[in-house]
Chain A
Amino acid sequence: METHNSLEEKFEFTGTAKTVSLIAIVLGVVAIVVGLMMGGVHVQRTFTNLLLMSYYFVCVCTAGVFFCAYQYAAQAGWSASLIRIPQAFAKVLPFASLILILVVTAGLFTTHEIEFEGHKQVVPYLYASWATHGLTIVGEENYNAVIAGKSAFLNVGFFYGMLIVLLGAYSYLGLALAKASENEDTVGGMSNYDKSFKLSCIFLVIFGFTFPIFAFGTIMSLEAHWFSTMFGWYNLAAMHVSGLAIIALVIILLRKKGNFLWLSENHLHSLGKLMFGFSIFWTYVWFAQFFLTWYANIPEESVYFFRRWEPEFKWLFWLNIVVNFLAPLLLLMSRDAKRLTNRMMWTCIILITGHWLDYYLMTMPGTIPSEHSGFGVEEIGIFLGFAGLFTFMMLTQLSKFKSLVPKKHPFLQESLHHHI
């Protein structure tokens, strides 16, 4: 192992990573085109998958900002030498937000005709349960008092306002954090660190209060009759675990390519502890949401789980717990397990696909009749496309940093000698 690390190390984005991510993007585009051309229910599935993956994309980038923010707010030392990776995630967030808004726009303004309760209805592909014309207008045939009561939150204007303001704030603060860290490299001193601390605190307050609203609007409103106050925290846990898993996976893969050689099994251990802990937190919130609904057994609440109890989804519903709870619990429980690179790598991969399944179960049953659900070109292709897009954008941003280490971070030495 190398003992002398160059703090000037830069990342060059070339070779296999670039080729593979570009191929994945092309496959994604092909899958979208194929999905739209197949017609019928495949169009709906394409739209749902686009929403799923663009939401996942935004969440992972936001998790990067979140990670940076709580590391700065806690004045953590161990993460200083890997903070460029979540910073690169943060720099992709504006782009990811734009894609989410594009997908949402396409879903809201392209309509199709479906048969609902015996009569034909023209509904948008996404958010049909509240964005369909007439739902909130008294006297219309499809007037729905429940949805009308929620229309102060669930209307197109507020929806866009919420997306733009929240994602704008997250993006701005994420970029500001990355910029302060880059300034620190040239200026030195404590001023940029203090600024990062302040920005992090502001971000955490805004994020903590508003992320549930973002999750309610973007995902929960797919089934607008149903609501759960746990849903925001449940999504927060999911996005955090998947974000951590992707940060860890990026570190492992980049180390295998010969970058970030100063990161040791100790840094992996710390990330592993976070992944382990927050997987259990995810399960806790998942169970809290399920348990209360199951126990109260009120029809308007249990309809959500009733849909996920259909034979097409039921095994996935339980698989979700196996891959997102049992797998990290058993694979990462012992101290030594978190320090094994390959064990960590496979757990990360399991968690990344596991939280895709988690998001699949949040979006798909509410938008597709269960007999038309499935796993095919759209799911695989669009997942690959977004994975490629994320990799490409994130590694491009990583290669723009003048050095892979924040050279003048006050806790850099603590991070380089991290030992647990």
Chain B
Amino acid sequence: MSSTKFILGLFDDPDDMMHGIEKLQKNSIPIYDVYTPMPIHGIEDKLGVKESRLGYAAFCFGCLGASVIFSILYYTLVHDWPMNVGGKPNFAIPNFVPFTFEWTILFTAFGMTLTFFAATHLFPGRAPRVMDLRATDDRFVIAINAKGNIPHEDITNLLKEAGAVEVKHNNRKYVSYE
């Protein structure tokens, strides 16, 4: 049993890589993930990546922000310490609008950032997990889980045929660990 954990196909051209994805899919080889130095149009559809649910998180955080500040305003200005400002009623909703608007945006922005960090395991202090360092520079990398995908030679040949400039058989998943 080989100790290979992941097979990486490194391409220097995004079109070759897209071709490689097609080839692997035609041969029913599941792709673990693809790493590219730049966004590539249509790659999500091709890989069947599920649509991001970040928008729903944003909506929930926005609602949370609006309710939090509305409660604070209500408690402080209406319930706890009502004041007469310019003869306006204490519960003057137009006054609450700017705050509610700002806090909705604030919570949405921060909430989305935090959700993104949580979902991608990217937060300050954590070493980024990278399968191949050149995927952030000039290589387009297709990663295939070696476990269960045999024979490895066939996969290597498929990637080479598709135009991979290099095929790596890695014994560990990531180049870098924290």
Contact B42 A287 (CB under 8 A): no
Complex contacts, A334 vs chain B, CB 8 Å:
55
Complex contacts, B175 vs chain A, CB 8 Å:
none
CB within 8 Å for A291 and B55 given contacts A297-B86, A419-B41: no
Q: CB within 8 Å of B: which of A278-314?
A: 287, 290-291, 294-295, 297
Cβ of A119 < 8 Å from any Cβ of B?
no
Cβ of A120 < 8 Å from any Cβ of B?
no
CA separation between A295 and B87, bound complex, in Å?
Answer: 10
In the complex, what's the smallest C-beta–C-beta distance from B7 to chain A, in angstroms? 30
Interface string of B92-108 (1 = CB under 8 A from A): 00110110000000000
Cβ of B35 < 8 Å from any Cβ of A?
no
Q: CB within 8 Å of A: which of B83-122?
A: 86-88, 94-95, 97-98
Contact B55 A335 (CB under 8 A): yes
In the complex, what's the smallest C-beta–C-beta distance from A17 to chain B, in angstroms? 36
Contact B59 A294 (CB under 8 A): no
Complex contacts, B42 vs chain A, CB 8 Å:
419
Q: CB within 8 Å of A: which of B3-61?
A: 41-42, 55, 59
Complex contacts, A335 vs chain B, CB 8 Å:
55
Do most interface residues of chain A lie in helix, strand or loop, or is the interface mixed?
A: helix
CB within 8 Å for A333 and B97 given contacts A297-B86, A419-B42: no
Contact B59 A333 (CB under 8 A): yes
CA separation between A291 and B88, bound complex, in Å?
Answer: 12
CB within 8 Å for A287 and B97 given contacts A295-B86, A334-B55, A335-B55: yes
Complex contacts, A290 vs chain B, CB 8 Å:
94
Find the A residue at minimum CB distance from B45.
A419
Complex contacts, B88 vs chain A, CB 8 Å:
295
CA separation between A333 and B59, bound complex, in Å?
Answer: 9
Complex contacts, B55 vs chain A, CB 8 Å:
334-335
Find the A residue at minimum CB distance from B59.
A333
Complex contacts, A287 vs chain B, CB 8 Å:
94, 97
In the complex, what's the smallest C-beta–C-beta distance from A94 to chain B, in angstroms? 40
CA separation between A133 and B87, bound complex, in Å?
Answer: 40
Find the A residue at minimum CB distance from B58.
A333
Contact A294 B41 (CB under 8 A): no
Find the B residue at minimum CB distance from A419.
B41
Find the B residue at minimum CB distance from A290.
B94
In the complex, what's the smallest C-beta–C-beta distance from B10 to chain A, in angstroms? 26
Complex contacts, A291 vs chain B, CB 8 Å:
94, 97-98
Find the A residue at minimum CB distance from B95.
A295
Find the A residue at minimum CB distance from B87.
A297
In the complex, what's the smallest C-beta–C-beta distance from A228 to chain B, in angstroms? 16
Complex contacts, A294 vs chain B, CB 8 Å:
94
In the complex, what's the smallest C-beta–C-beta distance from B158 to chain A, in angstroms? 28
Find the B residue at minimum CB distance from A334.
B55
Contact B41 A295 (CB under 8 A): no
CA separation between A209 and B34, bound complex, in Å?
Answer: 50
CA separation between A291 and B92, bound complex, in Å?
Answer: 11
Contact B59 A295 (CB under 8 A): no
CA separation between A69 and B55, bound complex, in Å?
Answer: 31
CA separation between A419 and B40, bound complex, in Å?
Answer: 11
CA separation between A287 and B94, bound complex, in Å?
Answer: 9
CA separation between A274 and B126, bound complex, in Å?
Answer: 38
CA separation between A333 and B104, bound complex, in Å?
Answer: 15
Complex contacts, A333 vs chain B, CB 8 Å:
59
In the complex, what's the smallest C-beta–C-beta distance from A416 to chain B, in angstroms? 13
Across the A-B interface, the 8 shortest Cβ-Cβ residue pairs: A419-B41, A291-B94, A294-B94, A335-B55, A287-B97, A334-B55, A419-B42, A291-B97
Besides A287-B97, A294-B94, A295-B95, 15 other CB < 8 A contacts?
A287-B94, A290-B94, A291-B94, A291-B97, A291-B98, A295-B86, A295-B88, A295-B94, A297-B86, A297-B87, A333-B59, A334-B55, A335-B55, A419-B41, A419-B42
Interface residues of B (CB under 8 A from A): 41-42, 55, 59, 86-88, 94-95, 97-98
